[in-house]
Structure 1
Amino acid sequence: MTTFTVPTREQVSENNQVVFDNLQKALGFVPNLYAFIGNSKNGLERYLAYQTAKSTLTNKEKEAVNLIVSQVNECVYCQSAHTVLGKMNGFSDEQLLDIRKGKATDAKLNALVQLASDITANRGKASQATIDNFFAQGYTNESLVDLNLLISDKVAMNFLHNLIKIPVDFPLAPAL
């Protein structure tokens, strides 16, 4: 059975060592999943540029999407990381659990969460009712594109962690 390990700073390329240093300064540590991406000479920098690109979605909306997509994909690492980030963006513990269950009390956020869940669970084949509700809540075609790009970002990380199962270095998200 293949076992995957988290590389240290010294085990990654010089370019990734700089990225590790920047993550250390910004976050206080290099998350294990990012460190593993450091195995790719260009992957970490490319992924971080993609993840931090401008979007029409707010940080709070992005965290809601990250949570529901990670829940649908059963990725405990990303559920845990985005529970922490969700709290940092103003969600309560109860709201975070509700989002992971596929709902939000705010109608607009609820439409976003439901569409993100539907897209993820059905591999892009969301129901027309869910799509219509998304647009009825004020989202636009631009928002739809940004949502799909965000989902693709999170699916990539969910799949990577589900594949390699490296240790979760965030407080574990509560079970549903």
Structure 2
Amino acid sequence: MINGFTLLDSSNAPAESAKILDAVQGAWGFVPNLHRVLAESPAALEAYAALWGIAEKTSFTALERNIAYLSIIYENECTYCMAGHTNLSKMAKVDAADIEAVRDGKPIADAKLEALRTFAAKVTRQRGVVSEADVAAFKSAGYNNQSVLDVLVLAATKLISNYANHLANTPNDAFMKGAEWTAPGKLKAAA
């Protein structure tokens, strides 16, 4: 951990955060270290928990959400989230070859999923500034305006988690063993 962040639990977190941590424990059977970092700010923890739930309501299937999340995480170079979402993707039955391709920043075989991977990456990398041709290519693969906006929901969810993990150097959770990842190293901290 860096920058003075600690891993909180419901016994030492602010009361508003403790309630969310207890709910996560009840739902998942454990509290991920990301949530324990975010617990220092009840607003940050609530925002992440809310966005996570909202992301489940997007127009994307579980398979598509996982591909988009992995692509966004790749661009944000979050080693914690890449390890976590690699295993979450496996649990969601995402093809292992697709997971590995996205982890390597390479195209995937399925044309529609590749369009999603590419678009989510561009939106993230270019902070939403994409061309009409980029949007048109995404739509021509079978997506629509709702899908374009739903990518933003996923990107916003990962912005909170990826950036928090960078700021705190969040340690991986036990369930991530075997899914560790080395980021490409394009992002560097400002001097």
TM-score normalized by the length of structure 1: 0.91
Q: Distance in 1 between matches of 2:30 and 2:58?
A: 26
1:78 aligns with 2:85: no
For residues 54-86 of structure 1, what are the alpha-carbon distances to aligned partners after superposition, in whole Å with 9 as ceiling and x for unaligned?
A: 211112111111111111111001101110111
1:62 aligns with 2:62: no
Aligned-pair distance for 1:14? Answer: 2.6
Equivalent position to 1:173, from 151, 166, 180: 180
Amino acid at match of 1:130: D
Q: Using a 3 Å threshold, how does the CA distance of structure 1 residues 98 and 127 change in structure 2: closer, same or farther? A: farther
Helix, strand or coil at the partner of 2:11: helix
Amino acid at match of 1:75: C
Query: Is there any run of 5+ residues in structure 1 with no aligned partner, and where?
Result: none
Query: Is there any run of 5+ residues in structure 2 with no aligned partner, and where?
Result: 185-191
Helix, strand or coil at the partner of 1:42: helix
What residue number does 1:26 align with?
Answer: 27
Aligned-pair distance for 1:102? Answer: 4.1
Aligned-pair distance for 1:7? Answer: 1.0
Q: Distance in 1 between matches of 2:62 and 2:12?
A: 32
Does the 8 Å contact 2:9/2:21 carry over to 1? no
Does the 8 Å contact 1:102/1:113 carry over to 2? no
Bigger Cα displacement from structure 2, 68-77 vs 35-44: 35-44
1:89 aligns with 2:92: yes
What residue number does 1:151 align with?
Answer: 155
1:131 aligns with 2:138: no
Aligned-pair distance for 1:3? Answer: 3.4
Amino acid at match of 1:156: I
4+ long deviations beyond 4 Å: none
Equivalent position to 2:114, from 98, 110, 113: 110
Root mean square deviation, CA, Å: 1.8
Q: Distance in 2 between matches of 1:145 and 1:33?
A: 25
Aligned-pair distance for 1:126? Answer: 2.1
For residues 83-127 of structure 1, what are the alpha-carbon distances to aligned partners after superposition, in whole Å with 9 as ceiling and x for unaligned?
A: 011111111332101123242211111101000111111221224
TM-score normalized by the length of structure 2: 0.84
Bigger Cα displacement from structure 2, 110-119 vs 15-24: 15-24
Q: Distance in 1 between matches of 2:181 and 2:97?
A: 11
For residues 110-154 of structure 1, what are the alpha-carbon distances to aligned partners after superposition, in whole Å with 9 as ceiling and x for unaligned?
A: 101000111111221224433221100111111111111211211
Does the 8 Å contact 2:135/2:148 carry over to 1? no
Q: Distance in 2 between matches of 1:80 and 1:166?
A: 12
Q: How many residues align?
A: 176
Does the 8 Å contact 2:48/2:160 carry over to 1? no
1:164 aligns with 2:165: no
Q: Distance in 1 between matches of 2:60 and 2:85?
A: 16
